[in-house]
Structure 1
Amino acid sequence: MHRRNVLRAAVVGTGSVAFGFTMTRPSFAAYPVQTGPSPYGSLQSADANGVLLPQGFTSRIVARSSQTVPGTSYTWHGAPDGGACYADGTGWIYTSNAELSAPAGGAGALRFDASGNVIDAYRTLTGTRRNCAGGATPWQTWLSCEEIDLGYTYETDPFGVNAAVRRDAMGRFKKEAAACDPDRKVVYQTEDVSDGAFYRFKPTTWGDLSSGTLEVLTESGGALTWRTVPDPDGSPTATRNQVANTKRFNGGEGCYYAEGVCFFTTKGDNRVWAYDAVNNTIVIAYDDNLTPNPPLSGVDNITGATASGDLFVAEDGGNQEICIITPDDIVAPFLRLSGHGSSEITGPAFNPAGNRLYFSSQRGTTGSSSGGMTFEVTGPFRS
């Protein structure tokens, strides 16, 4: 993904916040990204799976909660949430969290061959609680985060070989998502509370999360500073309340890093943020209150298409869409689910080739965690 840069400043509430972002090209955008036509065109009628897609795209359901994954003996977990894909020889793996109470929480995985056939499915983490968005690491592990007070991060093996390990040094708080920044050798983390913080974890050794320093983003006089959290265990004082001038975010959700920028979402105010790690600045990339006829609401999980620079943001609420945010500062629907009004879209992730998009409807058409559905969308994604 190309770098996106701050374009102008405006005042929101009592603080000065930079608005607007774009690729490495001149731009005169005066506001955050604006509603416009999708590069993929308008959505067509719902297909047999209840998915509205642009012309040329097709969907299939690859797994259903509480049912055996076809071609395997594994029962797919309930409430599928955050996910990511990993190259696996000639095929790939899609890992998915289970946002359920213990002992049903944790994570599972689907293994695909080179033709996209599911050839295996298995559990990679058990006995944990409300595993939500999570994040992938450059060393091919999956960080499964507990969305509970004093929640832990678990490092899991999507290939199903090594046992999961709890990473206490990464702190304990109501965790949502994680995104690795290999350039600064840190892991960003979001917190899903109304006065949440934005964190980064600096491992003592990059690639080893067993020890390191937890830091929180602070703001004073308009300047951003990362400061050490004195007690990452978060008890008796929550991590977000230990450091003066901690910058607050209303319900941190998904998190995605690419080329010096960490994008993350806040559901409480329907915003997409862009933290520029190179220049240590932060901008609002999308705000539904500042976007006429906003197509995106209930912002939640987020991922990106590396080749095109497009962001894909899933909705928890709204009209159950995944929306695209393009390098040309346009936001538009990419797909919509019909009949899933009591669910939320979770776990968007591209396969390594970038021509298949995976995601889940956490509660499917039933509104129950046992009715979750995991989808694959195939088509002419932009390069």
Structure 2
Amino acid sequence: MSHKTLLRAGPLWQGAVGPYGPLEPAGSDGLALPAGFAGRVVARSGHKVAGLTWHAAPDGGACFPDGAGWIYVSNSELPLLGGASALRFGADGSVADAYRILSGTDLNRAGGATPWHTWLSCELGHRGRVFECDPYGRRAARPRLAMGRFRHEAAACDPDRQVVYLTEGEADGCFYRFRPGDWGDLTEGVLEVLCESGRWRPVPSPAALLHAARHQVDDARHFDGGEGCHFADGVCYFTTKGDSGLWAYDAQTSTLERVCDGVRAITASPSGDLYVARDAMRIDVITPDRTITPFLALDGHDRSALKGPAFSPDGSRLYFSSQLGTAGDPSDGHTFEVAGPFRP
């Protein structure tokens, strides 16, 4: 059963034990994981990693293939000094390099990866922009202004319909999609907003010089602070931080469902399981039979939030960050890796 099918299969069932068994006691790093899994901190805010001082307030992230290894990209939710950094891993999982891919931008939040292996880093600031970044560090980042000027949170690409879904971090924010003129080139295109009717309507002025984008279409549907966003198996999942909801937009049927509560960020493994970061400093797995169960818990980070979950391209490692660490401060962010027998 795919996740597209499970959306119409009834409510989720909260299970006590997931597909990997119960959580074992937390180790010295605070991670409680199922048997057979191991975790480690791969970067800490203010500390050197492969010669780079890792950024504060790590937020959204994604992984990209890199020969026999891979790259994990992470945003920084700092005002004016945000941007994004990258960790390059060798085939054996060691950190081979670290470098900046975007600097001098404002409150970079969830973002999203593209099928052509670029990173969309989204600014949450007033009249925020989307920057298309090169995770390999070869090309300079470029703003994609046709994607609108608003408090951007996350982006998720739908290669079937050749659109990019976008969330908005306002208490009355909207859910958008961007239709580029040429798929793979985000320089020009049409910004549309989801309406109460279920239809998409063009935003008349994406630059929003006189009126905010979310107020330009009368029938626009509003959400309580859009946050994370992920596209998988024909469905765009997104979260709303104001009411901690997880939503699922079925792109084929143009239907929207609220799936569950208490979710802040989301990703999917190559097997199709959904992994959701919860408010209670844990990550749960949602299986295709609609069971939601704990996968990991992080002790000692009670004043923080889990951000940027993403799987390595082969599905063997999960990355995420505790944005404020044990100190509850942006300067104490921890970026983790969990490795183990994830389902193929």
Structure 1-normalised TM-score?
Answer: 0.87
Q: Which amino acid aligns with 1:312?
A: Y
2:256 alignment counterpart? 282
Q: Which residue pairs with 2:19 in the alignment?
A: 39
Aligned match for 2:104, one of 127, 142, 146 = 127
Matches within 5 A, 1:101-112: 101-102=79-80, 104-112=81-89
Checking the alignment, whether the CA contact within 8 Å between 2:270 and 2:314 is kept in structure 1 is no
**TM-superposed deviation, 1:101:** 1.1
Distance in 2 separating the partners of 1:173 and 1:324: 32
Q: Is the 8 A contact 2:177 2:191 kept in 1?
A: yes
Cα distance, 1:3 vs. partner? 4.4
Q: 2:275 aligns with which of 308, 312, 330?
A: 312
2:164 aligned partner, one-letter code: V
Q: State the SS of the aligned residue for 1:4.
A: helix
Per-residue CA shift, 1:170-198, capped at 9, x if unaligned? 00111110000011110000011121100
Moved more, 233-242 or 199-208: 233-242
C-alpha separation between the residues in 1 aligned to 2:148 and 2:2? Answer: 31
Counterpart pick for 2:303 among 318, 334, 342: 342
Q: Which residue of structure 1 aligns with residue 7 of structure 2? A: 21
Letter in 2 for 1:85: C
- Tell whether 2:321 aligns with 1:366: no
Match of 1:148 among 125, 132, 135: 125
- Following superposition, which runs of at least 4 residues in structure 1 exceed 2 angstroms of deviation? none
Q: C-alpha root-mean-square deviation of aligned residues, in Å?
A: 1.2
TM alignment of 1:351-362, pairs within 5 A: 351-362=312-323
Q: Which residue of 1 aligns with 2:40?
A: 60
Contact (CA 8 Å) 2:321, 2:336: kept in 1 or not? yes
Map of 1:75 onto structure 2: 53
Aligned equivalents of 1:34, 1:273: Cα separation in 2:
16
Quote how far apart the aligned CAs of 1:334 are.
Answer: 1.1
Judge conservation of contact 2:3–2:288 (CA < 8 Å) in 1: no
Read off the aligned partner of 1:21 and give its amino acid letter.
L
Structure 1 CA distance, aligned partners of 2:341 and 2:125?
A: 39
User: 2:2 matched to which residue of 1?
Assistant: 2
What SS does the corresponding residue of 1:370 show, helix, strand or coil? helix
Q: Contact 1:21/1:33 (CA < 8 Å) preserved in 2?
A: no
Alignment-mate amino acid for residue 75 of structure 2 = N
2:264 is matched with: 300
Q: Which amino acid aligns with 1:310?
A: D
| 2:58 counterpart letter in structure 1 | P
**CA 1:194 to 1:34, structure 2 compared with 1: closer, same or farther past 3 Å?**
farther
Tell me the secondary structure at the aligned position of residue 209 of structure 1.
strand
- SS at 1:324 equivalent: strand
Q: Secondary structure at the match of 2:196?
A: strand
Matched AA of 1:378: A
Distance 2:307 2:206 in 1: 28
- Match among 259, 262, 272 for residue 246 of structure 2: 272
What is the match of residue 209 of structure 2? 235
Structure 2 segments unaligned to the other structure (5+ residues): none
Q: Which residue identity does 2:22 align to in structure 1?
A: S
Aligned residues: 343
- SS in structure 1 at match of 2:146: helix
**Match of 1:240, SS?**
helix
Q: Is the 8 A contact 2:167 2:176 kept in 1?
A: yes
Alpha-carbon separation, structure 1, partners of 2:65 and 2:193:
32
- Percent same amino acid among aligned pairs? 56
User: Within 2, Cα distance between the matches of 1:183 and 1:358?
Assistant: 27
Give the drift of 1:284. Answer: 1.5
Aligned equivalents of 1:173, 1:323: Cα separation in 2: 31
| Equivalent of 1:174 in 139, 148, 151 | 151
Structure 2 residue aligned with 1:16 = none
Structure 1 segments unaligned to the other structure (5+ residues) = 6-19, 289-296
Q: Is residue 303 of structure 2 the alignment partner of residue 326 of structure 1? A: no
Q: Deviations over 1:71-110 (max 9, x none)?
A: x2111111110000000011000000000011x2100000
Question: How many angstroms apart in 1 are the aligned matches of 2:62 and 2:104?
Answer: 21
In 1, Cα distance between equivalents of 2:99 and 2:219: 44
Deviation string 1:141-177 (CA, Å, 9 cap, x unpaired) is 0000001221100000000000000010000111110
Q: Distance in 2 between matches of 1:39 and 1:91?
A: 27
Quote the Cα distance in structure 2 between the aligned partners of 1:259 and 1:86: 19
